[in-house]
A and B are shown apart, each in its own frame.
Chain A
Amino acid sequence: AQKITQTQPGMFVQEKEAVTLDCTYDTSDPSYGLFWYKQPSSGEMIFLIYQGSYDQQNATEGRYSLNFQKARKSANLVISASQLGDSAMYFCAMRGKSGGGADGLTFGKGTHLIIQP
């Protein structure tokens, strides 16, 4: 079974500061992917970034980067130079390869990030 833990239910951050959202995971699957999604107040789920379990380098996508520490089973999302529009729920998720695609994503409970001006 897979499990995702996000220990920060909510965070307040000043605009332009960097933000780290924590995520730890547990899985017995030797090959897996880790994902972060953003859900703004409008409700849609927006894919942000992906990290494969065998990737040698940490993933980066614009202002988003993923601090992947495999031995510690953590996959923290870092948002640099935060903006007011970054205020949203952020979900960490994972997907194992052994499920053949049918197992979808397992989500954490999310972190509600609020960027303050």
Chain B
Amino acid sequence: DTAVSQTPKYLVTQMGNDKSIKCEQNLGHDTMYWYKQDSKKFLKIMFSYNNKELIINETVPNRFSPKSPDKAHLNLHINSLELGDSAVYFCASSQGFLLKRVVELFFGEGSRLTVL
């Protein structure tokens, strides 16, 4: 059973289209994230979300919006796709903090978006 799963794994689309990437976690975690990995492999956080709070990285265009139907899902919707949106998008989840330990994030396999 995959702990954090994303669909689709590959997505090729035209500029101007709207697309969504779905993410589900079965770990019972309370916080989910979206990361963008650019062509130089740099990973940058886009959003974090738990059932109380959505935190948006201020550099993320408002064409990107997270949607969470429930605690186990955090989907990423992108409007009016641009060439520069081509990247690998990773969903991740974690369970806050365990006593003294700062816990790791568990990542999905990534969704490679190509905008033509």
Contact = CB atoms under 8 A, between A and B. Distances in A.
Q: Do A and B bind each other?
A: yes
A89 interface: yes
Contact of B107 (A31, A45, A52, A106): A45
A101 to B, nearest CB: 4
Interface residues of B, number: 32
Contacts of B44: 107
B43 A107 contact: yes
Contacts of B109: 43-44
A32 B88 CA distance: 27
B85 to A, nearest CB: 18
B110 to A, nearest CB: 5
Contacts of A104: 33, 35, 45, 48, 92, 94, 105
Indicate the size class of the contact surface on chain A: 20 to 34
A32, A39, A102 pick with most chain B CB within 10 angstroms: A102
Nearest to B112: A43
A45 B110 CA distance: 9
Interface string A6-42: 0000000000000000000000000111010101000
A109 B37 CA distance: 10
A52 B43 contact: no
B105 A109 contact: no
Given A52-B101, A102-B55, A43 B88 contact: yes
Interface string B80-108: 00000000101010111100111111110
A33 B48 CA distance: 18
8 contacts: A31-B102, A37-B107, A52-B102, A101-B31, A102-B48, A102-B55, A104-B48, A107-B43
